[in-house]
């Protein structure tokens, strides 16, 4: 590998990244008015459906909730390290 080729490739890659990033920022700046207009219609629909949903949530009564997980005492724990790998002085 030639060091000058590596340096040239790094500079070209950095420049290309800057151009692509700048292009993305330019597109966001250029079409910023469209983003606000495109979302304004769906925001009105979402607001109306949210208000309708709030009315139904107020009518729901919350039932008693009990945990479904078993208690800590009933859990089957894995074997200890000493049980899996006993230390025998004769093996050393």
pLDDT of 66 > 70? The answer is yes
Mean pLDDT over each residue of the chain, to the nearest integer: 76
pTM (2 d.p.): 0.38
- The three-class DSSP label of residue 70 is coil
Please give the Cα distance from 43 to 50 (Å, whole number).
10
Phi, psi torsion values for 54, nearest 5 degrees:
-65, -35
What is the token pair recorded at 1?
């590998």
Q: What pLDDT digit, counting tens, does each position of 39-53 carry?
A: 565 555 555 555 555
Q: Please report the pLDDT score of residue 63 as a whole number.
A: 67
């Amino acid at each position: 590998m030639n060091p000058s080729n590596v340096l040239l490739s790094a500079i070209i890659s950095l420049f290309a990244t800057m151009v692509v990033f700048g292009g993305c920022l330019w597109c966001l700046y250029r079409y910023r008015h469209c983003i606000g207009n495109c979302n304004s219609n769906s925001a009105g629909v979402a607001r109306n459906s949210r208000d309708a949903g709030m009315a139904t949530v107020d009518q729901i009564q919350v039932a008693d909730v009990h945990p479904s997980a078993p208690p800590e005492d009933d859990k089957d724990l894995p074997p200890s390290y000493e049980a899996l790998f006993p230390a025998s002085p004769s093996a050393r």
